[in-house]
Amino acid sequence: MTGRSDSPNQVVKAEKPSGRAIVFVIDDDVSIRRSLANLFQSVNLDVATFGSAQEMLQGNLPEVASCLVLDVRLPGLSGLELQTELAKLNLHIPIIFITGHGDVPMSVKAMKGGAVDFLTKPYRDQELLDAVVAATERDRKRREVETTVANLQSLFETLSPREQAVMKLVAAGLMNKQVAAELELAEITVKIYRGRVMKKMGARSLADLIRMAETLGICANHAE
Amino acid sequence: MTLTSLYLHTQFAPTAIGYLEMILVFSLMGSLIPSAMLLILPFAALAYFFAPPTFNNDPQDLPVVVAFLLASIVGTHLIGKVRREREVALEAAAGLRRSEAELRDVEKQWREIFEHNPVMHFMVNATGMVLNVNTFGATQLGYAPSELVGHSVLKVFLEEDHPFVRERLGLCIETVGQSHTWEIQKIRKDGSVLWVRENAKAMQWAEDKLVVLIACEDITERKRTETALRRSEAHLAQAQELSRTGSFGWNVATGEVHWSKETFRIFQYEPSTKPTPQLVVDRTHPEDRAAVRETIDRAFQNEEDFEHEYRLLMPDGSVKHLHAQARAIRTASGDIEFVGAVTDITAAKQAEQQLRRSEAYLAEAQHLSHTGSWSWDVHRLEFVYRSAEVDRLFGFDPQEAVSIETIRSRIHPDDLPGVQEVPRRAIEDKGGHFEHDFRILLPDGAIRRIHSVAHAVVGSDGNVSELIGTHMDVTEQHAARERLERALAALHESEQRFRDYAETASDWLWETGPDHRITRFSEHTSAAGILATRVVGLLRWEIAGDVEAEPEKWRQHRATLDARLPFRDFIYRTITRMGSPIYVRSSGKPFFDADGNFLGYRGVSTDITASIRADQAERELRKAQAELAHMTRVTTLGELTTSIAHEINQPLAAIVTNGEACLGWLGRETPDLSAARCSVEWIIEDGIRASEVIRRIRALAKKGEIEMVPLDINDIVKEVIALLTRELVSHRVSLRTELEPTLPMILGDRVQLQQVITNLVINGIEAMQTVKDRPRELVIRSSQDDMGRVQLAVTDCGVGITEDDADRVFTPFFTTKSSGLGMGLSICRSIVEAHGGSLSIARKQEPGATFQFVLPLHKEVVS
């Protein structure tokens, strides 16, 4: 092991940092912080620890699959507030809350806020490890999807406005004729646009295109 | 003759005599030849007529004839010789007579020259009598020649020169033919003096007489010039010596240097030394050498005057200060010559330094003694002189003249008449010595007390012209005296006070003898009736009522007495005359006579029944308070259960997790032993942390005796914070501590003080419970107040305390909370007061309140 340290907010990494999941631990208690880091490292996870939510927000978070382990009752910015803050920043890191109190309303609030897990003390370490593995896996997937969406989005942006409009309507399940009527175009023109769209978006089939549109969230609300 | 002789028939002998006489007469008259012929004739006549024929046989006449012949020849010769000589002499006499006339002419000429030669000529004989003197000489001396000739030459000499003159004449006579020269003074007839240079020579004069010829030349003028020159030279030398100024000349072109005697003396060179500029440089002090050389070089190059001061380092190591000044003068030959003076200013320098030093000393002495000296013109009403200290005392500007009005304005109005009285009296009494005190009122209102001493100075007219004196600043002495007087007064007062105390106190004084039996008792005690009068003659343990109850105490006490040691605060029980039990506290010390024999004990006893009772009551109260404090403490702990549980759970959770991790490290294919070791180390650390929390809680929950020990309040604050961190966090309160790092120790009970602080912090936390619009901040500040006591303040920014509540917060059972006994602040206050301190609210209003308590220092509590 390298870089084992008590230092509260040092990023502690395993030998191969690239592309591996990283666990962020925020706890004001140094004993807890270092014991959690120790635990994650013992199962070959990269760890970064912080003494407070503010410290974490100030740091540069790596663009890899990660999850956040924190105590609900953090001093300063609380766990739930941090959750809100991260959401505002559009950072969708899966959060595993740990609480010593186990009050239900708080758990509900946390889960609603997008927490992946809620562990009540005393918990078994295996539970935490499972939760962490699950969360990082989820984050990895989310990142994949995000990448796909981003790709589709950039393809979508190569379409002309007219083509985009055609795509939206086609994805909404409209027939060519209906699309033509909607856009006041000749049907044959719609066909040509549709072909261009299929080609530019790289869709192999109509179903493919519809799924892409869904992914992009651009299904036109057809006024039927 | 022959005929006569024949006629007479004279005998041969008379005839021969006749002939001889005739021959001699003729030879006297004529020359040799006639006389010779005459000789022959008488001889022949004689021989023929008067003597028997020669050639006859009468030989008896022959010797007579021969004798005749011889006698006539000799006689003739002699007479002839005389005659010749006589002729020569006559001839010479005629020559002489001829030349005498010529001689007389020449003599006359010479005589003229002699008489009127502008040289005085004297001819004196060996006894000094003037044989001759020329007219010029006599006239020069105001005499006629006749008045001098025949008199002693000493007449024209000064009395004191007579021996010299005689000695000179003697010398001339001894060395005839040699001339001698000397200079001497002569007196004229009128008594005036003239200087002459005399040239004298002795010579033979007529037969064996010696005369001395003296020629005198009047050198008065020269002598006068010479004397003047010598005098001025002497003056100069003397002036140089006196002024320690040497002169010098330096011809740059020829390199010729001239030094005066004094210059040699200054530079300490032999006057025979040939002076050179290098000699100056050699003597110059090494530190000044460069500057001197530079000055000389510059003067040399620029041909200009120079002036400089420098030091000499003499061979004996002493240092001289010199001032040299020179003018560049162009000589007739066009060369530059420096002519100057060099003055030894060592003495002046030293005097200057000494003067400056003594002035400084005086000023310093005046400053130190706050004494100023002055001189006052009583008529012109102004200071003739005033020392710097006078200015300082009066606050005058040393540069300014001070008007009488200014002086008056600085003197305290009450003292002004007294001050003005002094010169008035001095003028009136025409003298006197004055001493008086007055006050100076400075512009800033400060007052200086002055003790002034003055003397009147009486002028030549018998009137007082000036007052001279000193002003001494006695403000401090005055203040010291006042302080002393006050202290003495206070001492008197306290003496009186103690006398009053002693008389009114419940103490009584006692004395015991060598056998420890009571011998004396102070009177007022028996009058007060505290003890029975019959105690005199008894032993203390006979009076006491607790000897059986507390044997050890009495055994120790008796041991102390036997050891003749003093004892203090020995408490025992006895009964009054009325039969009621009382407690007595007694202190005593042994006393001895002059020989060191033990005489007994003397001491004081007090009835302390009341205070013993009060102590007992207080002890009860303390106990009750401690129990109450404990109870509230436990209640507080109850309130803190969640936080405390968290404090323990944290390290426990960490221990478990680290344990799990440790297993993970060990369970790897190649176990990571160092990571496992590290995990175990953390487990140990966390375990210690958990047990530390438990120890603190146990201490708080402990129901123990109050233990007063020296404490650092900051340590207690830190312990409290350690317990309350979680509580603060869970209530979202940020804590700020401002702890003064170097606080003195206080004496207190750790747990109770922890309780006070805990209570104040929890109160603060709760007061901020409703605060949503601002950060909840709690400040704990320790400091020292102006009296040096330790002060601790807890400030919240919560709802504050209303005016009504402020009066009631410290009363028991007052609470604004839904939970709790309402005993917290009440207990806190009694705890702090039991520590000799006080607890108060320093700030009541929103935002927040400040509770603070002060505690006396460790040593105050002890004393």
What per-residue confidence (pLDDT) applies to B815?
66
* Residue A20, domain extent: 11-147
Nearest CA in chain A to B671: A42
Long-range contacts of B528-531 (CB under 8 A, 24+ apart): B529/B576, B529/B577, B529/B578, B530/B506, B530/B576, B530/B577, B530/B582, B530/B607, B531/B574, B531/B576, B531/B577
pLDDT over threshold 80, residue B526: no
The answer to whether residues B91 and B40 touch, using CB atoms and an 8 Å cutoff, is no
Selected residue of A6, A27, A33, A38 to mutate for chain B interface (largest B Cβ count, 10 A): A38
Same domain, A87 and A186: no
pLDDT tens string B781-817: 999 888 888 999 999 888 878 777 777 777 766 666 6
Give the amino acid at B386. R
Indicate the average pLDDT of chain B: 81
Same domain, A92 and A177: no
Q: Kindly list the residues from chain B whose CB atom is less than 8 angstroms away from the CB atom of residue A4.
A: 675, 678
What per-residue confidence (pLDDT) applies to B52?
58
- The Cα B657–Cα B680 span in angstroms is 11
Selected residue of B658, B673, B731 to mutate for chain A interface (largest A Cβ count, 10 A): B658
Please give the structure tokens belonging to residue B745: 């120790």
Kindly give the pairing relationship between strand B776-784 and strand B733-739. Answer: parallel
Cα of B730 to nearest chain A Cα, Å: 7
Q: Kindly list the residues from chain B whose CB atom is less than 8 angstroms away from the CB atom of residue A122.
A: 649, 653, 656
Q: What percent of chain A has pLDDT over 70?
A: 87
Same domain, A170 and A84: no
Nearest CA in chain A to B729: A75
Cα of A64 to nearest chain B Cα, Å: 24
In a domain, A204, yes or no: yes
Kindly give the pairing relationship between strand B447-458 and strand B567-575. Answer: unpaired
State the DSSP H helix or E strand holding residue B777, giving kind and residue range, or none if neither.
strand B776-784
In a domain, A80, yes or no: yes
pLDDT over threshold 70, residue B30: no
3-state secondary structure of B276: coil
Nearest CA in chain B to A6: B682
CA atoms within 13 A on the CB side of A56: 29
Does B675 contact A at CB distance below 8 Å? yes
Same domain, A143 and A169: no
Tell me the β-bridge partners of B795: B779, B850
pLDDT tens string B636-672: 777 777 777 878 888 888 999 999 999 999 998 899 9
Same domain, A165 and A113: no
Q: How many interface pairs between A and B have CB atoms less than 8 angstroms apart?
A: 75
CATH number at residue A173: 1.10.10.10
What per-residue confidence (pLDDT) applies to B861?
45
Nearest CA in chain A to B666: A42
pLDDT tens string B665-689: 999 889 999 999 999 999 999 999 8
- The Cα B306–Cα B345 span in angstroms is 17
Domain total in chain A: 2
Q: Kindly list the residues from chain A whose CB atom is less than 8 angstroms away from the CB atom of residue B677.
A: none
Last residue of a domain, one of A147, A176, A201: A147
Nearest CA in chain B to A128: B657
Kindly report the length of chain A. 224
When CB atoms are compared, the residue of B646, B661, B665 closest to A35 is: B661
CA nearest to B714, candidates B600, B610, B796, B790: B790
- The Cα B799–Cα B209 span in angstroms is 157
What per-residue confidence (pLDDT) applies to B684?
94
**Listed ranges B15-19, B243-247, B732-736, B821-825; the one with the highest mean pLDDT:** B732-736
Nearest CA in chain A to B776: A76
Nearest CA in chain B to A78: B732
What per-residue confidence (pLDDT) applies to B27?
67
pLDDT tens string B258-315: 888 888 888 888 888 888 878 888 888 888 888 888 888 888 788 888 888 888 888 8
What per-residue confidence (pLDDT) applies to B524?
58
In a domain, A137, yes or no: yes
Please give the structure tokens belonging to residue B507: 């103490």
Selected residue of B642, B652, B657 to mutate for chain A interface (largest A Cβ count, 10 A): B657
Task: Determine, for residues A31 and B678 on separate chains, whether the beta-carbon distance falls below 8 Å.
Answer: no
Task: Determine, for residues A35 and B732 on separate chains, whether the beta-carbon distance falls below 8 Å.
Answer: no
What per-residue confidence (pLDDT) applies to B160?
86
The answer to whether residues A6 and A31 touch, using CB atoms and an 8 Å cutoff, is no
Kindly report the length of chain B. 863
What per-residue confidence (pLDDT) applies to B60?
62
Q: Which residue has 């003499």 as its token pair?
A: B314
When CB atoms are compared, the residue of A39, A76, A100 closest to B657 is: A39
Same domain, A18 and A78: yes
Does B567 contact A at CB distance below 8 Å? no
Task: Determine, for residues A31 and B646 on separate chains, whether the beta-carbon distance falls below 8 Å.
Answer: no
CATH number at residue A51: 3.40.50.2300
In a domain, A142, yes or no: yes
Q: Please report the ipTM that was assigned to this predicted complex.
A: 0.71
Q: Kindly list the residues from chain A whose CB atom is less than 8 angstroms away from the CB atom of residue B665.
A: 42
Same domain, A59 and A90: yes
Task: Determine, for residues B656 and A125 on separate chains, whether the beta-carbon distance falls below 8 Å.
Answer: yes
In a domain, A49, yes or no: yes
Task: Provide the b/e sequence for B75-85 (b: ≥16 CB within 10 Å).
Answer: bbeebbeebee
Last residue of a domain, one of A114, A147, A180: A147
Q: Kindly list the residues from chain A whose CB atom is less than 8 angstroms away from the CB atom of residue B653.
A: 32, 35, 121-122
Kindly give the pairing relationship between strand B120-125 and strand B130-133. Answer: antiparallel
Nearest CA in chain A to B687: A31
Task: Determine, for residues B685 and A28 on separate chains, whether the beta-carbon distance falls below 8 Å.
Answer: no
Does B655 contact A at CB distance below 8 Å? yes
Of A22-36, A39-53, B50-64, B381-395, the one with minimum mean pLDDT is B50-64
Q: Kindly list the residues from chain B whose CB atom is less than 8 angstroms away from the CB atom of residue A34.
A: 654, 658, 682
What per-residue confidence (pLDDT) applies to B372?
83
Q: Which residue has 């050891």 as its token pair?
A: B563
When CB atoms are compared, the residue of A75, A78, A125 closest to B660 is: A125
Does B649 contact A at CB distance below 8 Å? yes
Nearest CA in chain B to A75: B729
Q: Kindly list the residues from chain A whose CB atom is less than 8 angstroms away from the CB atom of residue B663.
A: 42
User: How do the residues of chain B divide into helix, strand and coil, expressed in percent and rounded to 5?
Assistant: 50, 25, 25
pLDDT over threshold 70, residue B34: no
Q: Kindly list the residues from chain B whose CB atom is less than 8 angstroms away from the CB atom of residue A29.
A: 650, 654
Same domain, A105 and A143: yes
pLDDT over threshold 80, residue B709: yes
In a domain, A188, yes or no: yes
In a domain, A224, yes or no: no
The CA-CA-CA angle for residues B301, B303, B307, to 5°, reads 100
Does B860 contact A at CB distance below 8 Å? no
| Backbone Cα Rg of chain A | 23
When CB atoms are compared, the residue of B653, B660, B675 closest to A1 is: B675
Q: Kindly list the residues from chain B whose CB atom is less than 8 angstroms away from the CB atom of residue A31.
A: 650-651, 654, 682, 685-686, 689
> Across residues B710-731, what is the average pLDDT?
85
Q: Going residue by residue through chain A, which has 224 residues, state the pLDDT in tens, using 9 for 90 and above.
A: 333 444 434 444 443 444 678 999 998 888 989 999 999 999 888 999 998 888 888 877 787 888 899 887 777 777 888 888 888 888 888 889 887 666 677 777 777 777 778 888 778 888 889 999 998 888 888 888 888 888 888 888 888 888 888 888 888 888 888 888 888 888 888 888 888 888 888 888 888 888 888 878 776 554 43
In a domain, A165, yes or no: yes
Task: Determine, for residues B729 and A35 on separate chains, whether the beta-carbon distance falls below 8 Å.
Answer: no
Nearest CA in chain A to B647: A29
What per-residue confidence (pLDDT) applies to B666?
92
Phi-psi region of B303 (alpha: psi -120 to 50; beta: other; left: phi over 0): left
Cα of A24 to nearest chain B Cα, Å: 16
Same domain, A105 and A186: no
When CB atoms are compared, the residue of B650, B662, B682 closest to A29 is: B650
Task: Determine, for residues B653 and A28 on separate chains, whether the beta-carbon distance falls below 8 Å.
Answer: no
Q: Kindly list the residues from chain B whose CB atom is less than 8 angstroms away from the CB atom of residue A73.
A: 729-730
Cα of A40 to nearest chain B Cα, Å: 8
- The Cα B148–Cα B121 span in angstroms is 12
Task: Determine, for residues A31 and B662 on separate chains, whether the beta-carbon distance falls below 8 Å.
Answer: no
The answer to whether residues A10 and A33 touch, using CB atoms and an 8 Å cutoff, is no
Same domain, A27 and A116: yes
Cα of B847 to nearest chain A Cα, Å: 21
Same domain, A123 and A177: no
Give the amino acid at B504. T
Question: What is residue B119's DSSP assignment?
Answer: S
pLDDT over threshold 60, residue B512: yes
pLDDT over threshold 70, residue B329: yes
Cα separations (Å) of B60 from B5, B55, B64, B65, B473?
20, 11, 8, 10, 160
Strand boundaries in A32-136, DSSP class E: 46-50, 66-71, 95-99, 115-120
Cα of B712 to nearest chain A Cα, Å: 27
Same domain, A163 and A134: no
Last residue of a domain, one of A117, A147, A177: A147
User: How crowded is residue B189: how many other Cβ atoms within 10 Å of its Cβ?
Assistant: 14
Selected residue of A5, A28, A39, A43 to mutate for chain B interface (largest B Cβ count, 10 A): A39
When CB atoms are compared, the residue of B662, B689, B732 closest to A31 is: B689
